[in-house]
Homo-oligomer: A and B are copies of this chain.
């Protein structure tokens, strides 16, 4: 027998799964659009040269490469590749359409990307990214609006107890400088600090040692971060930060402004937040919904990346939500609305016999025109079989249209939850289905 599984690390989405994905994507889009972000879509396939060299050595190996067509196919040469993230295509589009785009281009993009990674729990080879980026301004209004938008999305999805951890690359730089860790060692130091959650104080200290960072310096910065981790209040954290790195530091000032103007945005200052990606230049964010889960997304300011395909650099700041992880957490916590579980149809209309098909189809058209989702059982099977099918697929109502009902312009309507069946005038059917309790 032929293999009928999807390719390894990829997934088929049956209707209930598609509806859950669309529910989450719908909320994300709605909120981003309410902030004036506009949709962008790019092809799944990019020229290979567009992607190579953009994701580091490890990334290069995870890119899916597509064979040249025609006679070249045999040589094994690749000229195309599957999209690996949404940031490089954005930079390409910005360079390509510079004159068609507004000065402050606010775009969101919700599309799949592909990585030839080893599949694991929650890690897939095809997965969706939900990116939002504002291009063209260095103002902290951007950071504030991104935090507010992400806060609103999480609230609308039903998350209550979450924080947006906020830090700034310049604060990290200052913390390290004050601890006598110079510029040349800072990238190494940040890679170690990024693991603080996972490997703890001693683990990071050990990694500092391996990377040639002195234990004194290491202890100084880690002691500060450990002390500050116990504080809950942003102002207290800010005060401690000021004591440690001094007044009027650029990064600390920006964060203070961001917090001041982003009221109710669940922001928590976290000077230990490092974020893996090297291209951030300013504020950095990460969403925290519980220690056991890891982040649902993150982002930050990257003022020297978006111009990679053009002549000039353009400031940018963005956020990426991990759709797959959001879905896993919502599934585990039972956060999906109940109506996403059942079939999407509101009612099934039975067929009495071969001669009454037209009547059933007409009733279906009438109910659809009144906004209902209507299934017609396709065959003039025994009525019992049609009801059994309705029960199997979980449709909440069944309409029977027999010869008497047709003659009297009525419908026998059965509520499949309560079992109650009533014969009612045809024009009352849609109300009854929409508001079964009235």
Binding site for B on A (CB under 8 A): 1-7, 10-15, 17-19, 21-22, 33-36, 38-47, 49-50, 61, 64-67, 69-70, 73-78, 80, 82, 89, 92-93, 95-97, 100-104, 106-107, 112, 114, 116, 125-126, 134, 137, 139, 141-142, 144-145, 148, 260-263, 308-311, 343-345, 348, 351, 357-358, 361-362, 364-365, 368, 372-380, 389, 392-393
Contact = CB atoms under 8 A, between A and B. Distances in A.
A185 to B, nearest CB: 33
A379 B92 contact: no
A379 B344 contact: no
19 contacts: A2-B308, A2-B309, A3-B49, A12-B42, A13-B40, A21-B41, A36-B348, A44-B112, A45-B114, A67-B76, A76-B76, A76-B77, A102-B392, A139-B380, A145-B361, A145-B378, A148-B361, A263-B358, A263-B361
A435 to B, nearest CB: 19
**A interface SS class:** mixed
Given A40-B14, A50-B3, A343-B38, A33 B357 contact: no
A58 to B, nearest CB: 13
A344 B35 CA distance: 10
A81 B430 CA distance: 47
Contacts of A49: 2-3
A67 B64 CA distance: 7
Contacts of A125: 45
Contacts of A358: 260-261, 263
Contacts of A64: 45, 66-67, 69, 80
In the A-B complex, list the 5 residue pairs whose CB atoms are closest, starting with the nearest: A76-B76, A36-B375, A15-B38, A10-B43, A4-B96
Nearest to A8: B47
Contacts of A40: 12-15, 18
A251 to B, nearest CB: 18
A40 B344 CA distance: 13
Contacts of A142: 378
B114 A379 contact: no
Given A44-B114, A45-B126, A145-B364, 8 more contacts: A7-B43, A7-B45, A12-B89, A33-B344, A64-B67, A64-B80, A65-B66, A104-B389
B379 A12 contact: no
Contacts of A82: 44-45, 66
Contact of A12 (B33, B93, B377): B93
Nearest to A48: B7
A77 B75 CA distance: 9
Given A73-B65, A141-B351, A261-B357, A6 B43 contact: yes
A81 to B, nearest CB: 9
A86 to B, nearest CB: 12
B6 A42 contact: yes
Nearest to A6: B43
A170 to B, nearest CB: 20
Contacts of A368: 34-35
Nearest to A46: B7
A373 B69 contact: no
B15 A107 contact: yes
B36 A139 contact: no
